[in-house]
Amino acid sequence: MNFFPPFPQDNARIGLLGVAFDENSSYLRGPAQAPGKIRSAFFSDSSNLWTENETNLGADGIFADAGDISPSQACMPAETEEAASRLHAAGLKVFAFGGDHSVTTALVKAAAQFHPELTILHFDAHPDLYDNFAGNPHSHASPFARIMEAGLAKRLVQVGIRTMNGHMRQQARRFGVEVLDMGHWREVFAMQFSSPLYLSFDMDCLDPAFAPGISHREPGGLSTREALSIIQSLKANIVAADLVEYNPAQDQPGFTDMVAAKIFKEITARMLAIK
Ligand code: MN
Ligand code: MN
């Protein structure tokens, strides 16, 4: 489903990719339905297309939309990486949305080919560092283990974490992950992020009171405003980003989809603000 000008598009700056995939979810399915819902919410007449820094996302020359992919479980890594690589190769920044968090491994792989020395800023309730989860090394609970062991990022910073356990703490030490749990999330404001930056936004970093349409409702998270403040404070060149784990099957229409669209708008505004 294409709501934006289709790729290829002259002078566009951000390539969009919907990822309709949730087969690596460990608990509930649903994030495969996210891309269409987020597109609709983005254009909902209940809001407008301007961001808080007064960027008009409805203007020409911003987005080129590659549409949605809905790969099988076996084909997801290759198909997702290829679709994202096509956008990077056209000189675009890449914003991917929808899907469970397992898609991030393929998206980071694509970004790392074009931008070596990536730093990743990862918003999540969960560290997603399991060596494997329930026998699945490609589980949505494992992408950052796969990314770090493949050396796809030189630095990984996690914010919003509130489900750390012994195994994942070991993994975090092994990979040198900088974990800001909910007792320390404000320390992110003092961090310098060297370019280029990959931003991965798991919707469950937010408190479920703000965004109930997710698969794992973990209380005690960031408010929507706190997450937006972090995004808006970033002084880094964000070359690629994803917005994952929105689960429409767990949502009330017009609730978490609007939050996802808001986060979408503010992340892309930040991508446009700094080259
Ligand atoms: Mn996650
Ligand atoms: Mn999560």
Position 230 in a domain: yes
Integer CA distances (angstroms), 54 to 57, 120, 140, in order? 9, 26, 35
**Domain span including residue 56:** 14-273
Rounded to the nearest angstrom, the distance between the alpha carbon of 40 and the centre of ligand 2 is 23
Rounded to the nearest angstrom, the distance between the alpha carbon of 84 and the centre of ligand 1 is 19
Position 8 in a domain: no
Rounded to the nearest angstrom, the distance between the alpha carbon of 47 and the centre of ligand 1 is 28
Rounded to two decimals, what is the model's pTM? Answer: 0.98
User: Which ligand sits nearest to residue 140's alpha carbon?
Assistant: 1
Question: 1 falls in which pLDDT band (50, 70, 90)?
Answer: low
Rounded to the nearest angstrom, the distance between the alpha carbon of 251 and the centre of ligand 1 is 18
Q: Give the pLDDT mean for 240-259.
A: 96
Position 7 in a domain: no
Question: 106 falls in which pLDDT band (50, 70, 90)?
Answer: very high
Rounded to the nearest angstrom, the distance between the alpha carbon of 14 and the centre of ligand 1 is 23
Strand order of the sheet with strand 238-244? Answer: 63-69, 14-19, 93-97, 238-244, 197-202, 119-123, 155-161, 178-181
With a cut of 90, say whether residue 2 has pLDDT above it. Answer: no
Q: Give the pLDDT mean for 26-36.
A: 96
What is the total count of domains within the chain? Answer: 1
CB-based contact 267:241 (threshold 8 Å): yes
For residue 247, give the CATH number of its domain: 3.40.800.10
Position 261 in a domain: yes
Position 157 in a domain: yes
Question: Quick one: pLDDT at residue 253?
Answer: 84
Position 247 in a domain: yes
Tokens encoding 151:
């050396």
Rounded to the nearest angstrom, the distance between the alpha carbon of 32 and the centre of ligand 1 is 15
Percent of the chain scoring above 70 in pLDDT: 100
Position 251 in a domain: yes
Rounded to the nearest angstrom, the distance between the alpha carbon of 273 and the centre of ligand 1 is 26
